[in-house]
Structure 1
Amino acid sequence: MSVRRAWTVRQGSGAVTWFEVRLAFADGARVEALAAVSEGGVCLEDVRGRPGLSLDDLAVLAEWLEEPLAEACVPPPAPGAPAARRARPQWPRGTEGRRLVAREYRAAQERGADPVLAVMRATGHGRRASLRLIGQARDEGFLAPRRARR
């Protein structure tokens, strides 16, 4: 099951948030739903199933979706509260942070993935800040020098 926030619309003093929900079963069946969550509760806006769903299946679907939607819902900020800037994963500073940057960098290289992009994803920083962290990890000896010195 996957639950992904699609969009949020302010409505008076509250908000309505829509979620895209996907369920996949071992036998190949799948269900996709669009659910609207507000202070009044949960409302299923659109449901598509392959194979089609019976009325009994639809009744059970609401039970399946209740807990994952509750986990995915984060109450909107209170009116007048400062809006949160972008959420960034907690990343340690100093030597420990540079050690973790080097670990992410090397792991991406071994997978054949872009190591700078891997560091960007792990730290939540943009390309420039991630390159600066990688450079600092090189300076501390956690990564090999970029070029061989002559």
Structure 2
Amino acid sequence: MSVRPAWEVRENEGTTRWFEFRLVFGDGARIDALAVVGGGCVCVEEVRAQPALSLDDLAVLADWVEDSVAEACEPGAGPDARGGQGRRARPAWPRGQEGSQLVAREYRAAQREGADPVLAVMGATGHSRRASLRLIGQARDAGLLSPRRARR
């Protein structure tokens, strides 16, 4: 795994930075990505993977890129300063059925209070919007939440 700053553009008081990402796996699979950081957001501009990625794999890649960019953008985070210390602390969240039950509980509580259920799950899990939506989908698949759309 490697993260390298590619280039940086400074304009007025803002800065836009591009990062190159490379993941190489033991079985020969490889992922190369280019992400841009600017205006308070992270956008993945390009992804090349051998073999091709599934949609679930892309969601996991997006979370990894987000965490890696946050780590790389820390002040004083040179190549030698990178490590686990730059990552955001996430609360421990159980996997499997127990995790799905907790997601469903947070989702329904937010609905009762008139709040955004996805934001409630994001706050409870500490995960990004994509990861939280994936967890909500898993809870729906497990029958813990009603289907998103009524089928006709």
TM-score (norm: length of structure 1):
0.47
Asked which structure has the greater CA Rg, the reply is 1
